[in-house]
Amino acid sequence: MKNLVLGNEAVAQGAIDAGLSGVYAYPGTPSTEITEYIQRNKFAKESKIHCTWSVNEKTAIESALGMSYSGKRAMVVMKHVGLNVAADAFMNMSISGINGGLVIAVADDPSMHSSQNEQDSRYYGKFAMIPILEPSNQQEAYDITRFAFDLSEELKLPVLLRMVTRLSHSRSGINRSDQRPQNAINLPENTKRFTLIPAYAKGQYEHLIEKQPIIIAHSEASKFNKLIKANDVTLGIIACGITYNYLMENFEDIPCQYPVLKIAQYPLPKEEVAYLFEHCDRILVLEEGYPIIEERLKDYLDKDKKIIGRLTGDLPRTGELNPNIVAKALGIKQIISETKSKMVAGRPPQLCDGCGHTDLFNAINELTPKTGKKRVFGDIGCYALGALPPLNTITSLIDMGASITMAKGAVDAGLKNVIAIIGDSTFTHSGMTGLLDCVYEKTPITIIISDNSAIAMTGGQDSSALGRLKNICLGIGVEPEHVNFMVPLKKNHDKNVEMIRNEMNYNGVSVIISHRACVRLSRDKKEQIKLKIAELN
């Protein structure tokens, strides 16, 4: 019987079977289940595969590189925007190269189901000049991940594994192959390449450039790229990753009449692309995310009109593809007899009944008529829902940690009564450095850490902030009398409003830790949280 797994779980199992020694990650939809699978996996536990959450994607990727430096195989996992946080190390480790196999698994979110943008991680792969692997289905997700570690060690480069939401969060049966043992510790022969002082970095960069033809040769030889020839050459199709399924869905009963190049390994294989160029009148590029391949193949002024896709309007410029969109682009007749009923109203997500964030927002909203609108800066987490009616409390949400630093900039601009709201885990992820900026300049700002003792939005993972917030704030230099605590409950409403008002009146840095555990956590978990807080304070 096949193993029934999510695409993300197939990646995790592939990594385990490739001899993984450690996964490093920060939770983020749609990537979270990769790490969670390894955390639950019995074999991974027995073989002591590292799988504790990292504080953020930058610490994660650097730890993974350290494990790779030591000769072992490591994987780092994040959502697409997490790669922005990890980008510094990411860009430099293609220069240094790796030692033990290193795979960077990034889950993109086309259509922004749970994200603030739909950036395409393939750009990062190209930017760093490393191989990119993009599976089309769950079996491939398994096979490709297992293979990615071998490829990484052979090229001595990190490999980017690109997933997308629809594959990450779709289940299917997979067959596993043999389990490879973990690598032993084996330090790099040449440590100069990991020491990127300019004298060494220049040589390493040239070395990376020299490797590029070899990387393309690997794509050309890859069993995951496939050219399927056909007779009707009025059109050729390049189908990247999961879009291959959307194409083939339209050819279930009959073979596709056009030549198709299925892509799961980048850079693009030159020979196969050349075949399509020579034989086909036009080439349709199907890709999730940005039109990176379409743009690559097109001449800038589009004189030959040969390449079509998202840039030419044959496919939508934004959002994920699906079988219907591909059918339309190919002129295939579709029968869709029903339309959406006019009775259907939108049903956006909302904060859970009894959520502590709601009580906090209600307290702030009571002050707003006097303190002024549009000066509550928000952050990434469940409390982002405070931007929606009926609360309408926060008016900004950009990236992890930006609440504090944007609020600081607004204060610097002369704005008064400025509040930043940030979750406990978001604070330790990227808020601490911004707090130090505020302390350093004695910025008049009120920072409220809405602490629910969990990384709640992604499913209640453990937060590294647990029990440490007070000491972190004191350690960074917030004055002890301005590190305050409140419990966001209806019965404390008046008291909480008063505390926020008082702290807003203070001409310096105030931190209010608004603590109540996430209502979705189990009773056992809440008990553990209490014990941990007591232990650390």
Partner 1 sequence: MKTNIVLAGVGGQGILTIAAILDTAAIQQDLNVKQSEIHGMSQRGGAVHSHVRISDKEIFSDLIPKGKADLILSVEPMELLRYLPFLKEDGYLITDSKSFDNIMDYPDETKLINEIKAHKNSIVIDATKIAKDLGNSKAANIVLLGAATSKIPLSEASLLDAIKTLFSKKSERIITLNINAFFKGKELVSGINV
What whole-number distance in Å separates Cα of residue 62 and Cα of residue 59?
5
- Is 11 near partner 1 (CB under 8 A)? no
Count the residues of the shown chain that bind partner 1, applying the rule CB under 8 A. Answer: 51
- Helix (H) or strand (E) holding 409, with range, is helix 402-412
Q: Select from 219, 245, 461, 510 the one that contacts partner 1 (CB under 8 A).
A: 245
b/e 288-312 (16+ beta carbons within 10 angstroms → b)? bbbbbbbeebbeeeeeeebbbbbbb
Q: Select from 61, 264, 421, 457 the one that contacts partner 1 (CB under 8 A).
A: 457
Residue 467 has which token pair?
A: 């029990």
Q: Select from 9, 17, 33, 503 the one that contacts partner 1 (CB under 8 A).
A: 33
Residue 477 has which token pair?
A: 């230099």
Q: Select from 181, 348, 369, 480 the one that contacts partner 1 (CB under 8 A).
A: 348
- Is 524 near partner 1 (CB under 8 A)? no
User: CA–CA distance from 34 to each of 211, 266, 298, 514, 520 (Å)?
Assistant: 30, 22, 36, 31, 22
- Helix (H) or strand (E) holding 117, with range, is none
Sheet order of strands, 483-486 included: 376-377, 419-423, 445-451, 509-515, 483-486
Q: In the window 191-230, what residues touch partner 1 (CB under 8 A)?
A: none
Q: Select from 187, 199, 301, 344 the one that contacts partner 1 (CB under 8 A).
A: 344
Q: How far is the CB of 256 from partner 1 (least distance, A)?
A: 11
Single out the residue of 399, 402, 347, 341 nearest to residue 376, CA to CA: 402
Phi, psi (degrees; rounded to nearest 5) at 159: -120, 135
Which CB sits closer to partner 1, 173 or 475? 173
**For partner 1, what does the binding mask look like between residues 249 and 288, x meaning CB under 8 A?**
x--x------------------------------------
Q: How far is the CB of 242 from partner 1 (least distance, A)?
A: 7
445, 19 contact by CB (below 8 A): no
- Is 166 near partner 1 (CB under 8 A)? yes
Span of 57-65, 85-93, 188-196, 453-461 interacting with partner 1 by CB under 8 A: 453-461
119, 80 contact by CB (below 8 A): yes
What whole-number distance in Å separates Cα of residue 224 and Cα of residue 13?
19
**For partner 1, what does the binding mask look like between residues 321 and 340, x meaning CB under 8 A?**
-xxx--x------xxxxxxx
According to DSSP, the β-strands at 20-25 and 3-6 are unpaired
Q: How far is the CB of 453 from partner 1 (least distance, A)?
A: 18
Q: Select from 151, 242, 292, 500 the one that contacts partner 1 (CB under 8 A).
A: 242
Q: Select from 231, 234, 341, 507 the one that contacts partner 1 (CB under 8 A).
A: 341
Q: Rule CB under 8 A: which residues touch partner 1?
A: 1-2, 4, 29-30, 32-33, 113-114, 137, 166-167, 169-173, 242, 244-246, 248-249, 252, 322-324, 327, 334-341, 343-352, 382, 385, 457-459
